[in-house]
Amino acid sequence: MHKKIIIMIPILCFVITSCSSFSKIKTDNPEINLGEQLDSTLILVLPFSKKGEFLPSYAGSLFSNKLSDKLFLTDKYFVVDNNALGDILHQLSIKNLTRLTQKEILSIGSFANADYIISGTIFQYTDSELIGLEAERKINVSGKILNIHTETTSGVINIFSRYKSANIIDVFESITKKIVEGIEDNDS
């Protein structure tokens, strides 16, 4: 009986430590450059386009919802409700969000009475040919903050994250948290 317990303890310790570090998410501090303050403004976050075979089809919308929620929860920014975006797109006869021109982005922003629009792309890739739990996946999110009134880019966003086998929702939570922290730090 004691021999079984002695053998099982190291095995359990290995399994517990392996599983806990297995889904670790490492998110770098974002590179965010703002050309102006965004305080007390209305921001619309468009669904980000996505590139990467492991990202679910809803990744762009999920990411924009997470970023909108994080911006709203700061009480520093007003955010256009993402549910209203569908109505705006329908009224402007825009069907495809993956390849919007700057003119279309400005039209969406004007129609929503937004001051700024945040848009961008999520790139997911792996350095390994491994598919499955062993491959470390990497995500780079790049985006821009467009001023609707001046029709110029007011800021750029670039952030990098690495993870293994983590839920994409948790990865996006980590990334959007860092982005909003970066915006707030650069906005003061």
Residue 54 lies in a domain: yes
> Which residue type does 50 have?
K
In the numeric block, the tokens 């993402």 are attached to: 82
Residue 2 lies in a domain: no
Asked if 112 contacts 80 with a C-beta cutoff of 8 angstroms, the reply is yes
Q: Lowest-confidence range among 59-68, 76-85, 145-154?
A: 76-85
* pLDDT for 133: 52
* pLDDT for 48: 92
Residue 16 lies in a domain: no
Query: In 3-state terms, what secondary structure has residue 133?
Result: coil
Residue 73 lies in a domain: yes
pLDDT tens digits, one per residue of 133-156 = 566 788 899 999 999 999 988 889
* pLDDT for 62: 92
What is the number of other CB atoms lying within 10 angstroms of the CB of residue 31? 12
Residue 170 lies in a domain: yes
Cα–Cα distance between 100 and 103 in angstroms, integer?
Answer: 8
Torsion angles phi and psi, residue 34, rounded to 5: -110, 135
* pLDDT for 95: 79
What are the CA-CA distances from residue 185 to residues 4, 90, 178 (Å)?
A: 55, 36, 10
Residue 3 lies in a domain: no
Give the closest residue to 108 by CA, choosing from 47, 157, 46, 152.
46
pLDDT tens digits, one per residue of 91-114 = 888 877 777 888 888 889 898 999
Asked if 121 contacts 50 with a C-beta cutoff of 8 angstroms, the reply is yes
Q: Output the domain CATH number for residue 177.
A: 3.40.50.10610
> Domain total for the chain?
1
Domain span at residue 50?
26-186
Residue 184 CA neighbour count, 13 Å, CB half: 14
Residue 142 lies in a domain: yes
Residue 4 lies in a domain: no
